[in-house]
Every structure is written in C-alpha cells, then in structure tokens.
Chain A
C-alpha cells in the first residue's frame, strides 16, 4: 500500500513556543497524525503538561526547554533532537510575543524583545536545522506569521506587525535559497484565534465587537482549524509549494 500524500507518520517535528496557545494545537495536530513531536519553549513545567497530555493519549511527544533567542540553546536543542531521533523532518517556528504600546511611548527594550523572539528566533532556528535538512535532501520549515504581517490594524503593536512582516520576507528568501535542496519553507498567517495573547481582546466586548466586524465569517478561529494546514505543510502533499504564506483568517485580510 502506498503512503497517503498527507501522511506525517514517524516524521520528527520540532515545534517552538509549544507550551501554550497555537503551538499546543499544532503539536497536537501533528502528533495525532502519527508524527513524533518535540515541544520546545522556555517554560518547561508547562511544556511537560502538554507533552504528558499528548503521551496519555498514546502519542509520541517530548518536552525540551529552549529559549529561541539564545543561539547556543537553539543549537544544542536541535543537535540533541537529531542525535536522539536520527533526523529532523519538520521545524515549526511558532514562538512569539508582543508589546502593546503607542509607538511614541514604545521602549527600545520592548521593541528588541519582540523582534528577538519573533524574528531573530526564527532565523536562529532555521539556521540550526538547515545543514541537517540539506544533508537529508528533504525538510519542511513552517514559520508562523500573522495576518498582521500582511496588513495594518488599529492595535498599537508596531514590533509585532514588523516582526510578522519580517517572517514573510524571511520565508520567501529562505525558500528560494533552499528550493534546490528539496527543503520547503512556508508560512502560516493565522487571523484571530484564542491564545494567551488574544485573551484580553476576546474578553473585552468592545474590542471583540470591533475585531469580528472586520472578519467576514463573523467568528474567531477555532484552534483545531489550524491542524489541517500544519499537517498539509508537513506532508508530501505540499512538496511543490515553497515560499508561500497560507492565510487562515476567516476572510479578515480580504478587504
């Protein structure tokens, strides 16, 4: 029997920012489809809760503490994954943060913190997996951008918008560089999903009313609605797609 083109069974997938929010859901989506998932984040206690929950359902998961802004830590995490599993088939760069402030009041420390986590962290993780993926002659890199990487909005989060737009540029350029090595680099741009970051907006009725007024489907995304796209981008079904941004936003960015 031939393998299904959407199959990710036994693939080794490293997901950063997997201790909460959409990282949890994407890890779960890949694990449910048979992948071996390595969950990385700074908060090891929360990561272990996630990996224990996955393991209790019979899935294969491991928690690894990793701060994506620390090059040494990133490198050693990725080396240990390759040593333990023998390969690294997929990297999901999901770790991220934000700083909400009118730009005139924005502190340079907040700017740097967001850019370091959201953009430099993606660069460091990509850099650390590329030699392995080129040697394997296959690999999938999925960078989590945002609709805010494609458009502006009224929430004053300049470093977040900038970093997510930067991820789009990084994705395109890296995809071009790696195309001949059979390594596909793509991005997902989620719209409005529940997470620790969006909880204050969802529970503020006025902010939510504004947000939903911008979304043609008139609802926020349900976390499980990201599972299909992450599996697709991790599978052979996406082998001829690279450098693209897949927007999952209920139509938010259409107008």
Chain B
C-alpha cells in the first residue's frame, strides 16, 4: 500500500512512464511529487555548460487518476544526489520515495536507487528497470 505523498526521484524523464505504469498496475494512486535535479552554478560557462531537463517537458503519459506536482532541486554537486532528494522529500512532508533502478552499473551496483536506499530515513520503493 503506497499512500499519502510520494516523492518521485527522477533520474531521467523516461522514469515517469515507468513509474506511472507500475503504480497503475499495482492500483496505487498516491499524491506524486515529480522531482528532478537542476544542475546550477556547478561551473561558469567558460569551464563547462550544463544542460537541464525539466520534468514538465516530459509529462506525456496519461496521468488520469493521479494528483501530482513538479519540483526541481537546484543542485551544485556539493552533496550526493540521494541526500538532495531526501532533503526535498522531508521538506515536502513526503511519506515515501519512489525511484527507478538503473540496472546498468553492474560492477558495484551503485546508483541513485541504491544510495537512496542507504541514505533515506523515509521508506524507498525501488522499481526495477
């Protein structure tokens, strides 16, 4: 049972489709907070340019039955991505976090999902690729 408010930690926009499909399959409809990192002020443009994807550019899925909101976290890579998402979840009073596992980093199995599972005091639901 996934109830209340859930922060969706987005690695990329494709995760939205995967998570909505999973929740529909499970018949669960929590309030979703789609959240992405916004890479900002990491370096000035002479050093490197950082492009950002916004979650609202990618909400093509049928979202009927879901209440949701969009959120972006200004991020300078001065903390782990997991801790940035956890702080946001706490700030927004979320009851849980959902994340898609990368399933690709096979040598050490370290990705956003695994680090969230370690760092988060809030329950984390990992959706496999």
Residues of chain A whose beta carbon lies under 8 Å from any beta carbon of chain B: 20-22, 24-25, 49-50, 53, 154, 194-196, 198-199, 202-210, 212-213, 218-220, 222-223
Contacts and interface: CB of A to CB of B under 8 A. Distances in A.
Interface string B31-54: 000000101001100111111100
Contacts of A202: 39, 42, 50, 77
B49 to A, nearest CB: 7
Contact of A195 (B47, B51, B81, B83): B47
Contacts of A21: 47-48
Chain A at the B interface: SS class: helix
B79 interface: yes
Contacts, number: 85
22 contacts: A20-B46, A21-B48, A24-B46, A24-B47, A154-B107, A194-B77, A195-B43, A198-B48, A202-B39, A202-B42, A205-B37, A206-B11, A206-B102, A206-B105, A207-B105, A209-B115, A210-B110, A212-B77, A213-B80, A213-B115, A220-B78, A223-B43
B72 to A, nearest CB: 13
B108 A154 contact: yes
Contacts of A198: 48
Given A209-B110, A209-B112, A210-B105, A194 B79 contact: no
A212 B80 contact: yes
Contact of B77 (A25, A196, A210, A219): A219
A53 B46 contact: yes
B47 A210 contact: no
Nearest to B77: A220
B48 A206 contact: no
Of residues A22, A49, A198, A209, which shows the largest number of chain B Cβ atoms within 10 Å of its Cβ?
A: A209
B112 A206 contact: yes
